[in-house]
Structure 1
């Protein structure tokens, strides 16, 4: 019986050698890996690198469809198992793939499955097995031929350039494949994605084929859709009835204004630019970004809280100029939901009707060939900021400035600047309370350039603004710089020929002095200046002092000059959700130019020419906008409370 058994064993081993020679070219089964999976085009295995993989280790776990064992199959003990023809790294991968172990039993079908398992790693072009019987069992030798890397191709790559990927994998070209080296290359490519702002992108698979072509498959965070969700001031996206909050702003308009588009690769820098763009529209109090999906397909969702955009008011009152009056005002900063704005203020009194109307359609980056534009028409009358004071009209009335006119302005960006050019017309008349023209004051000083009490001023204006504020309504960081020039056309009464230059700069610095968690504390700084060259009608002088100049002084009480400088500093801090506080200081000077203005209105009215004010105030967020109240002291020892809308700058 022993001799028969030996014969059958030898016969079985011979059969095994023949079978494995033929199986060397057979199609292997699917073998997934826990770290990096490699597969050929004719297989279904997917090789995915995980975060647990390192450059020092690569594990390949094999799961094969078990081949049926032959009936009456002989099992023998493997006394030695060798893998030859590959590096130690690949030997270890092949050893982990097979089930034949030293000291364990093996068989003809098991060795067949082991060869298939080695080929299924997709790291080898060929694998064969040979065996030699020993007195105690069987010595097994697996002869393998590794895949030699010849080239690289990318799959699903839109952001990753071919040369960048090749640069990071070039050490593999022409050499037997190395999973450790490939893992290091994958880490370098993922690092390139991160450094270039592609925060969702990464390598998800490497597929080698027998010809040595590596297919690098990536998922780059392809944008599937851009969506918008509107929330109320409490951050809720649904109302009390469970229905989604509806915004006034049209989603199609927003999509046209954004740089992020479906089909693009998600990039953090592009989203930041869009956040800045949305804030600059001036329509939103808060803008946030949410992502839904995964690295292969992602939806970008902008969560928006709209700022109050519409206001209508009815009112009335009494003043020394108009007597009893009634007012009607309407403003809409998001007309038709496309960021157009319309406004009208009308005041009706026994003496006259005043109005100020405007319509603005801003420049759209989505339609670069179209200019933005603004149309304005006005008729107004009020106590003169320049001439009010100790010197009156010959009939002892206070001088009134009556103006009517209009303007048309075109707008468009130039690089980082928002530029505008306008054609402006204004007729100014100086009158008494009854509406009679008064060309001179009681000292005989002229009040208009023409000497008739009526001037016509037609100008062409140019303004350039570079705005890096994070919020147009309530900025907490960034800066804004505005430069303007105005040139008159000498036509009409007075034939005024003048040139005017102005500059205005504001800086906002977030700070944390009291540790509030409601809103940012801010140091805000503003400096501005200007000058006029040529003719200067006295009512066109730079008037210093007042709520929007040096607080603590009345309007125009500091000076009226041909030139000026004005500087302000504020510390803004939160008190309650709807209430904020301000500490401020202001300084202004006419630079000694008060006596260069026709009629010297500042000199004859004893305006100091320079002034300093300081104080504190509150800011209230209301449905009609930001209301401010400031209590200021000036360097003359006077104080006053002043009210207005919006921040000082």
Structure 2
């Protein structure tokens, strides 16, 4: 009686010394954790097996006092202290023990293997039994397969640790306690489990993109199965993977937890777009202070707003952002686009999308002196603005003059999308060309003054119809009065001065990612021209042209394949000076301009383009095609043929240089298999060839 009184008194004094946690004001708490301190030789499982307080059970002071009494009376414990702590909305029971000095001998006599002895066990110890306790929902056979230990085999401490780790990683248990007992020259290994609860129901909360049943099909955790945290992590990844694959990259699994009804609640945040804003991309330089105006774009807001495909009030989708970025970069004056995501204050799932827009140089003044095989020494001066006053309008003025009696002047303006219209465009151009062709006897000099205008309508983002018209005053002069045909007859040449009027409707389909330097996409255009030309042999004329282009990635991310094919047919009444010319920098590089003429034409161009860095690029190209069915009086042209005979081929290399004034193009082309051709031709121009 006196001993019991001393034990109770000691317990009360211990409670006053350590003090129960002030957060524990009642006994409606579960034991969330039991911590054993200072157990150097006594296995933790041995101590826990003596206690009536268990993890997951309701905490009571009576049970704690009973555990204190039980542990205090054990032969191998000299002193013990037990006290509760508030932990994870429950109680953590702390057990501090003091082992007796001869604890190892006492444990051995009782058949308990001391902790320090477990590392020293050798192959002479055979495993007699492996037992599992507390695994009510998980079959023992399934757990046994996780252990690298077998009944009848030798004991290994390392294998026991490995097996313990695999059992923990299985995810089915909140707590696992192994224990070893010596029996008849062998050992018995016991595992004590506290299983995770059974999931009674799975609730998906916050989903709008996918139906609840669709998400449940993605996950392995089902109702009426034991909760497994490893599988739960896989379920989280499966849900995020599904959202990401479909472009919903802001979607997150906010929480996965059991509610009071043992139902698994999966809370989703999908990333709802509340607002889309845009500003200038600013790179702060060292020593510079950022000002409010630094984020203001030159481009007017309405130009950017009408290209944005990210929808407010809907879940953010990266595909909509990518299309928005492509739309903006196709304008020709936007260099790059990035985005930032900001949380909206006082909102559960709303996001604010900030588009960071980097504008390219739009105003260019170009001046150059170059030499080309076709036009000789030539000087070029041009002024260009691709985003006039931030409205996306294009204006240009250019002048070229060569020592080969060629000159050209033009001034043009266009608005690709008139403000407050449904993709309506318009533009005009005034031009003058003077050209002397030494290879032509009948049309040695051709002078043209012209004006053109067009209006267009975008039917969709990629499909556009256009109607153009032009008026030209043309004067042609021969190099001599008469020519001699191959049969020896005389052909009389004449000067001609005529006016040309025409209209040319067209339809196009364009998915290129850039109008000026595309790396992917397609372009198709069909145009028909109908007109009248006065002067000598005045008549009406028609022609039609079909053009196709394609671009795709090549061998590396900086390598692009580009293809173009052009086919055209003219009526036989077309003025001879207006017939197709094939050859030169834009059709067959390796032949002079107008090397082939006719009322039919077909050309194919293939280029492999490599961008070495921001400044330099290289090109390998192959060109093929020609013009046929000339049927004219010009005896200076003796290369006529019937379609599709005598197709010409060329190949070459090129250099591209990006300068502050604009991109420069240098091409070197050679004819292939043509003995009449003069050899390598050099061309200088601006921008890509197509």
1:332 matched to which residue of 2? 385
1:474 matched to which residue of 2? 517
SS at match of 1:553: coil
CA distance in 1 between partners of 2:262 and 2:33 (Å)? 22
CA distance in 2 between partners of 1:113 and 1:639 (Å)? 89
Alignment of 1:612-623 (within 5 A): 612-623=649-660
> Once the two structures are superposed, what CA deviation does each residue of 1:208-257 show, in whole Å capped at 9, x if it has no partner?
554676543223344565444435xxxx4448744447653345632442
Residue 284 (1) aligns with residue 334 (2): yes
SS at match of 2:638: coil
Which of the two has higher C-alpha Rg?
A: 2
Of stretches 537-546 and 629-638 in structure 1, the one that deviates more from structure 2 is 629-638
CA distance in 2 between partners of 1:26 and 1:492 (Å)? 109
- Aligned pair count reads 512
Residue 443 (1) aligns with residue 481 (2): no
CA distance in 2 between partners of 1:275 and 1:500 (Å)? 35
**Residue in structure 2 matching 1:526, options 564, 573, 576:** 564
Instruction: For residue 79 of structure 1, report the CA deviation from its aligned partner.
Output: 4.4
Change (3 A) 1:413 1:629: same
**Residue in structure 1 matching 2:422, options 370, 374, 396:** 370
CA distance in 1 between partners of 2:256 and 2:247 (Å)? 23
CA distance in 2 between partners of 1:335 and 1:189 (Å)? 48
TM-score (norm. length: structure 1): 0.64
SS at match of 1:426: strand
- Check whether the contact 2:413–2:429 (CA below 8 A) recurs between aligned residues: no
Change (3 A) 1:432 1:82: same
Change (3 A) 1:201 1:509: closer
CA distance in 2 between partners of 1:171 and 1:575 (Å)? 52
Instruction: For residue 193 of structure 1, report the CA deviation from its aligned partner.
Output: 1.9
SS at match of 1:443: strand
CA distance in 1 between partners of 2:243 and 2:69 (Å)? 48
Alignment of 1:627-638 (within 5 A): 627-634=664-671, 635=674, 636-638=677-679
SS at match of 1:253: helix
Change (3 A) 1:26 1:345: farther
**Residue in structure 2 matching 1:488, options 530, 554, 566:** 530
Change (3 A) 1:639 1:316: closer
**Residue in structure 1 matching 2:581, options 543, 561, 578:** 543
> Once the two structures are superposed, what CA deviation does each residue of 1:400-439 show, in whole Å capped at 9, x if it has no partner?
2323232222131536x332311312234224499xxx9x
Change (3 A) 1:536 1:62: farther
1:419 matched to which residue of 2? 464
- Check whether the contact 1:61–1:96 (CA below 8 A) recurs between aligned residues: no
Residue 505 (1) aligns with residue 541 (2): no
1:135 matched to which residue of 2? none
Change (3 A) 1:574 1:362: closer
2:281 matched to which residue of 1? 230
SS at match of 1:391: coil
CA distance in 2 between partners of 1:486 and 1:97 (Å)? 90
**Residue in structure 2 matching 1:94, options 46, 52, 56:** 56
- Check whether the contact 1:526–1:567 (CA below 8 A) recurs between aligned residues: yes
RMSD: 5.1
- Check whether the contact 2:27–2:58 (CA below 8 A) recurs between aligned residues: no
Instruction: For residue 486 of structure 1, report the CA deviation from its aligned partner.
Output: 0.9
Residue 105 (1) aligns with residue 78 (2): no
Residue 356 (1) aligns with residue 410 (2): yes
CA distance in 2 between partners of 1:336 and 1:414 (Å)? 26
Alignment of 1:146-161 (within 5 A): 149=200, 152=203, 154-155=205-206, 157-161=207-211
1:626 matched to which residue of 2? 663
Residue 404 (1) aligns with residue 450 (2): yes
1:568 matched to which residue of 2? 605
2:250 matched to which residue of 1? 200
CA distance in 2 between partners of 1:161 and 1:589 (Å)? 60
CA distance in 2 between partners of 1:102 and 1:443 (Å)? 129
CA distance in 2 between partners of 1:96 and 1:545 (Å)? 93
Instruction: For residue 192 of structure 1, report the CA deviation from its aligned partner.
Output: 1.9
- Check whether the contact 1:78–1:101 (CA below 8 A) recurs between aligned residues: no
Instruction: For residue 376 of structure 1, report the CA deviation from its aligned partner.
Output: 0.8
CA distance in 1 between partners of 2:366 and 2:230 (Å)? 73
- Check whether the contact 1:373–1:409 (CA below 8 A) recurs between aligned residues: yes
Residue 607 (1) aligns with residue 639 (2): yes
> Once the two structures are superposed, what CA deviation does each residue of 1:252-292 show, in whole Å capped at 9, x if it has no partner?
63244222356543333223222322321211344445566
Residue 593 (1) aligns with residue 629 (2): yes
Change (3 A) 1:268 1:5: same
1:248 matched to which residue of 2? 298
Change (3 A) 1:405 1:106: farther
List gaps (5 residues or longer) in structure 1.
13-22, 32-59, 64-76, 84-92, 119-143, 318-324, 513-518
- Check whether the contact 1:506–1:527 (CA below 8 A) recurs between aligned residues: no
Instruction: For residue 641 of structure 1, report the CA deviation from its aligned partner.
Output: 2.6
Change (3 A) 1:453 1:101: farther
- Check whether the contact 1:230–1:303 (CA below 8 A) recurs between aligned residues: yes
> Once the two structures are superposed, what CA deviation does each residue of 1:281-323 show, in whole Å capped at 9, x if it has no partner?
2113444455667996666555544332112468999xxxxxx
Change (3 A) 1:573 1:608: farther
Alignment of 1:237-316 (within 5 A): 237-238=284-285, 241-243=288-290, 244=294, 247-250=297-300, 253-260=303-310, 264-289=314-339, 300=353, 302-312=355-365
Of stretches 213-222 and 191-200 in structure 1, the one that deviates more from structure 2 is 213-222
Residue 644 (1) aligns with residue 606 (2): no
Change (3 A) 1:409 1:433: farther
CA distance in 2 between partners of 1:428 and 1:96 (Å)? 102
Of stretches 163-172 and 184-193 in structure 1, the one that deviates more from structure 2 is 163-172
Greater length-normalized contact order (CA 8 Å, ≥ 6 residues apart): 1
CA distance in 2 between partners of 1:412 and 1:97 (Å)? 75
Instruction: For residue 572 of structure 1, report the CA deviation from its aligned partner.
Output: 3.5
CA distance in 2 between partners of 1:537 and 1:191 (Å)? 64
Residue 430 (1) aligns with residue 475 (2): yes
- Check whether the contact 1:525–1:568 (CA below 8 A) recurs between aligned residues: yes
Change (3 A) 1:624 1:167: same
**Residue in structure 2 matching 1:341, options 373, 388, 394:** 394
> Once the two structures are superposed, what CA deviation does each residue of 1:344-364 show, in whole Å capped at 9, x if it has no partner?
34799xx9x985333322248
CA distance in 1 between partners of 2:287 and 2:494 (Å)? 65
